[in-house]
Amino acid sequence: MAIFYTVKEGFSGFKRARLSSVITIFTMTISLLLLGLFAIIYRNTNSIIQSFRDKVEMEVFIAAETDSTHIDSIKTALLNVPGIAGAKYISKTDAARIFKKEFGEDINSVLDFNPLPASFKLRLTAEYKNSDSAHTVHATLSGIEGVDDVVYRKTLLEILDRRVKIFIGASAAIGMTLLIAAIFLVSNTIRLTIYAKRKMITTMKLVGATRGFIRMPFLIEGMLHGLLGGLLSAGLIWSIVFLARKFVSAEMSEFFAVEILFYGVMVAVGMLLGLLGSGWSVKRFITEDIVLN
């Protein structure tokens, strides 16, 4: 019976503060919609950035006077450097073949000898695909005996790191603003509901109702606001993604892919925001010494 009453009172808040409830649900829908879109943009942008990072390799050129018998020992030394995931040996002959493929000229027909040095192409582990870590690896590789030069796309990594920091900072600031706004609006709506029920709450206190019994309907109402806001925003995002994938190429459509779990998370986040907002309002405005009359 107590559970039925609690749920019924939770729904009754919509009737007592219809306008504020509609405004809160609408605002929460917009807030969650923007948060969801930011999450999708962040994930897809991060995927694009990661694809650029994956293309970054280090090429270690072997000194011309190095004997071919020392190649294996140099490879072992390279692989022992922290951050190196793998090494591929490029002989002078392989280098000439690559040159011809990329530039359309046979180096041996242009010159009487092959000036291209032997080298190793190194793959970096995921945690070392940033400018600071790559610089450390570069310095270590340069000190290995038999290594003439080490090159990699240093400028690209530095640009990526700077852009990522700016993007993450801006996304975090906007996301926090939207979250706080949603919580505040739910809290304000619950406060209006508490005011509308002030006489009933006072009576319940006088007859010995516990704090938990008084608070629960308001918590349920806040969660309902969040649930409706989450469902509406999830539906809007699904529609946006569905339409967007119709107007982009097959290659680009993968960047608009959203897992089903994402929509469930949005609804759960909405309910959590509603619970936090209502909990804060209830804790602040329903106390032992407050007089609601």
Q: Which of 151, 176, 195 is the last residue of a domain?
A: 151
Q: How many domains does the chain have?
A: 2
Does the model's pTM come out above 0.85?
no
Give pLDDT, residue 169.
Answer: 81
Q: Which of 219, 256, 216, 217 is nearest to 239 (CA)?
A: 256
Q: Which of 151, 171, 205 is the last residue of a domain?
A: 151
Instruction: Say yes or no: 247 and 229 in one domain.
Output: yes
Give pLDDT, residue 174.
Answer: 78
Q: Residue 136 and residue 166: Cα distance in Å, rounded?
A: 23
Give pLDDT, residue 232.
Answer: 92
Residue 35 counted as domain residue = yes
Residue 138 neighbours by CB distance under 10 Å:
17
Tracing tokens 């002989």 back to the chain, one arrives at 91
Instruction: Say yes or no: 31 and 67 in one domain.
Output: no
Give pLDDT, residue 33.
Answer: 85
User: Which residues form the domain of 108?
Assistant: 57-151
- N-terminal to C-terminal alpha carbon distance within the chain: 27
Give pLDDT, residue 108.
Answer: 66
Quote the DSSP letter at residue 17.
Answer: T
User: Which tens digits make up the pLDDT trace of 23-34?
Assistant: 778 877 887 888
Q: Which of 188, 191, 186 is nearest to 272 (CA)?
A: 186
What mean pLDDT value characterizes the chain?
A: 76
Give pLDDT, residue 55.
Answer: 79
Give the CATH number for residue 119: 3.30.70.3040
Instruction: Give every residue of the chain whose pLDDT is below 70, as ranges.
Output: 1-18, 20, 106-114, 186-187, 189-190, 192-212, 214, 248-256, 283-293
